[in-house]
A = this chain, B = another copy of it.
C-alpha cells in the first residue's frame, strides 16, 4: 500500500485525538485476550502503519509517531515504516514496555495519555499509572480511536466451534470444572475469571477457528461454584454443543457481556484472576468491594499437566508429524537437481506432507525455514522480500510445528546441504550435546525449570559460546504451541512456584548462531515422567517424544561422550522402529541409513 495511505490514517487519528483532548495515544499490538496470536480484526498496528510484525507498540502525539519493536523486526520495520509518518524506536530489551519511559520523559505535566484499556494488561496499566502519576498526567483507558476510522476492518472469523471428544481430552468437561472448583474452594475463591482463551478451550473441551495457528474460539469465562459463564459469539456455537452446555451448567452469554457481568459481582466475593492475562478494562470493571486474588489461573496450572489420554494422543501426533518430516527431508534430498527450492516453497511443501496426515489442521506457528545467514536469526520467518533459494551447499534450519487433533508439535532440525566443515560440525555437536544432556537428566521432584537450563548450555559455555533465548517452553495439547506456566530458561523470571511435574510437555532447543553465516538448533519435545524413588526422594526424568532423525553428517562424534553417543544411537533406533512401519519401502531404506548407529 502507498505510504500516503498511512499518513492519512495517522492524520485521522490525530484529528480524533484533538477532538477528544488526548495528548498522547498508545496503540498496542494485542487483542482483548492478550495472547500470542492475534486475529486480523485486531491487527491495528498493521492497518495504521503497514508494519506486519507480530509485536510492537505505537505512541502518537501531535508532533511524534513511533513504533517500538524488538531487534528481530528492525530491518523490516525500517522498510515498512518509510514515509508513513511513523518512526522506528528500537527496543533495548525485547517485550518490555520501554515506551512508558518515553511517555514519562516527553509528555508534559497535566496532559492526557490514552489507550484502549481492553488491549493492555492490568500490569501494564499499573506501570503506566505509577510512571505518569508524578507528572500528574491523566490516563484515559477508554480510547478506541481506530474503530471509527477503520472502515473495511476484517471481521472476526465466523467459523463454528467444535467439540473435543473424551477420547482426545481424556477428562470430561464436568470433571475438569469440578477439579477447578475444588481448587477454588482451597484458595477461598468464589469466582475464577478466565481471559486466556486456551484456558477456556481446555476447560470446556472445545476448540475454535478464530486464529491462524491455534485452534481457539475468542471467548471469556467466569467459573463460579454453581455455573460457568461462557462469553462467546452465539452464532459460532453449534446446536448440540449448546445442549451439552445446558446439561453441564455452562451458560452461554454474548462475548461483549463480560464487563457488564463483572460489574455486577456481589459485594465481598473473592475473584481469582491473572494480572498478565487480564485487561485493564476488565480489571477496572470489578466493583471495589470484590476481593481480587492475583494468581496464575487454575486451568493454566491444570492443563500444563497432560493426562494419560492426552499423552497417548501426543505420541500419535508425534508419529504422524515424524512421518511428514521424514518424507519432507527425503524429498528435499532426492529432488531433481534442477528443481529450485526456496525457504517459502520448502515450508509449503512441508505443510503439504503434514496435510497428508490424519487429524492435521494446520501449522502451529509460522514455519521458520532458514537458509545459511537467515538461520542465525532465531525468530526469522521467510516472506516474499527475504525468501532465499536453497543452494547446493550450506545449512538449512527448519523449525515448524503442526496442530493435530490430539496434539501440538514443535520441532527443529538443521541439515547440511553439502559436506559441513569442521567448525560447523563442532558448533552443531556442541548445541546437540545440550539437547541430549537435558533430555537425559534425572532430577528430584521439586526441581524448577531455571535450575536445569544450564545443562543445555554447558557444552557451549565450555567453548565460550551461548544462545540468547530460553531453552524450553511448555507446549499445549492441540492448543497454543507456547503454553505456561513451566519454562526452562536462564532467568527465574515469572512464576517461581512452578516446578517440573510428570505430564508436563516442554521443548528442548539449545542452539548456536553465527551471525551472517548459519545457525544450528536441534529441538525436541520432552515429556516429564516419573523415574524412581530412592532414600533421597522421588526422582523424575524426561522422555523425548519427538520422532525425527538428526543429521548425522553434522555430528562430530569425538565431541560426544559415551552416554551422549549411546543416547543418540538409541534415539535413532527408536525413530526408525516407530516411523519405519508407516513409510513406503524406498523411504524405509533411506531412513534406515539416516538412523544407523554412529560409531567412533
- Cβ-defined contact, B464 with A539, below 8 A: yes
Chain A, residues 148-172, CB within 8 Å of chain B (1/0): the string is 0000000000000000000000000
Q: Which of B454, B466, B561 contacts A454 (CB 8 A)?
A: B454
Whether B537 contacts A466 by the Cβ 8 Å rule is: yes
Residues of B within 8 Å of A460, CB to CB, are 536
In the bound complex, residues from chain B placing their C-beta under 8 Å from that of A514 are 535
A425-457: contact bitstring with B at CB < 8 Å (1 yes, 0 no)? 000000000000000011110011011111100
* Partner among B441, B451, B464, B536 whose Cβ is within 8 Å of the Cβ of A465: B536
Residue-wise interface mask of A (531-555) relative to B, using a CB-CB cutoff of 8 A (1 in contact, 0 not): 0101111010000000000000000
Asked whether A496 is an interface residue with its Cβ less than 8 Å from the other chain, the reply is: yes
Q: Contacts A442-B462, A536-B465, A561-B561 given: A490-B447 contact, CB under 8 Å?
A: yes
A590 near B: Cβ within 8 Å?
Answer: no
B490 and A461 contact, CB distance less than 8 A:
no
A444 to B462 CA separation, bound complex (whole angstroms) = 10
Question: CA of A455 to CA of B452 in the docked complex: distance in angstroms?
Answer: 9
Q: Return the chain B residue nearest A440 by Cβ.
A: B462
Distance A450 CA – B493 CA, assembled complex (angstroms): 12
- Mark contacts of A450-481 with chain B using CB atoms, 8 A cut-off: 1 yes-contact digit, 0 otherwise: 11111100101110111000000000000000
User: Which residues on the B side are within 8 Å of A451 (C-beta)?
Assistant: 450-451, 453-454, 490
Chain B residues with CB below 8 A from A466, complex form:
444, 536-537
- 8 Å CB interface, A17-36 against B: none
Q: A532 to B464, Cβ gap below 8 A?
A: yes
Q: Which of A386-413 contact B (CB under 8 A)?
A: none
Number of residues of chain A lying within 8 A (CB) of chain B: 31
Cβ-defined contact, A461 with B441, below 8 A: yes
Within 8 A of B (CB), among A465-511: 465-466, 490, 492, 496
A448 — nearest CB in chain B belongs to which residue? B492
Main secondary structure of the interface of A (DSSP, over half): mixed
Contact (Cβ within 8 A) A450 B450: yes
Which residue of chain B has its CB nearest to the CB of A468? Answer: B536
CB contact between A464 and one of B453, B454, B458, B536 (< 8 Å): that residue:
B536
Given A454-B455, A492-B492, A492-B496, are A464 and B447 neighbors across the interface (CB < 8 Å)? no
How far apart are the CA atoms of A196 and B388 in the complex, in Å?
62
For A461, list chain B residues within 8 Å (CB). Answer: 441-444, 539
- Tell me whether A455 and B453 are in contact (CB under 8 A): no
In the complex, which residue of chain B has the Cβ closest to the Cβ of A515? Answer: B535
**Nearest CB of B to A541, in Å:** 10
> Nearest Cβ in chain B — how far from A469, in angstroms?
13
B442 & A534 in contact (Cβ 8 Å cutoff): no
Bound together, the chains give a CA A452 to CA B461 distance in angstroms of 12
Cα distance A448–B453 in the bound complex, in angstroms: 12
Most buried by B among A454, A515, A539, A561: A454
Which residues on B sit within 8 Å (CB–CB) of A534? Answer: 464-465
Partner among B492, B515, B535 whose Cβ is within 8 Å of the Cβ of A450? B492
Residues of B within 8 A of A532 (CB): 464
Complex Cα distance, B537 from A515, in Å, reads 14
> Which of B443, B453, B464 lies in contact with A442, CB distance below 8 A?
B464
Residues on the B chain within 8 Å of A455, using CB: 454, 458
26 pairs, A vs B, C-beta closer than 8 Å:
A441-B461, A442-B461, A442-B464, A443-B454, A443-B461, A444-B461, A444-B466, A448-B492, A450-B450, A450-B451, A450-B492, A451-B451, A451-B490, A452-B454, A454-B454, A454-B455, A455-B458, A461-B539, A464-B532, A464-B534, A466-B536, A466-B537, A492-B492, A514-B535, A515-B535, A561-B561
Given A442-B461, A452-B454, A464-B534, 12 more pairs with CB closer than 8 A: A442-B462, A442-B464, A443-B461, A447-B490, A450-B492, A451-B454, A454-B455, A455-B458, A464-B539, A466-B537, A492-B492, A515-B535
- Closest 10 interchain pairs by CB? A492-B492, A464-B534, A466-B536, A465-B536, A451-B454, A444-B466, A442-B461, A443-B461, A464-B539, A464-B532
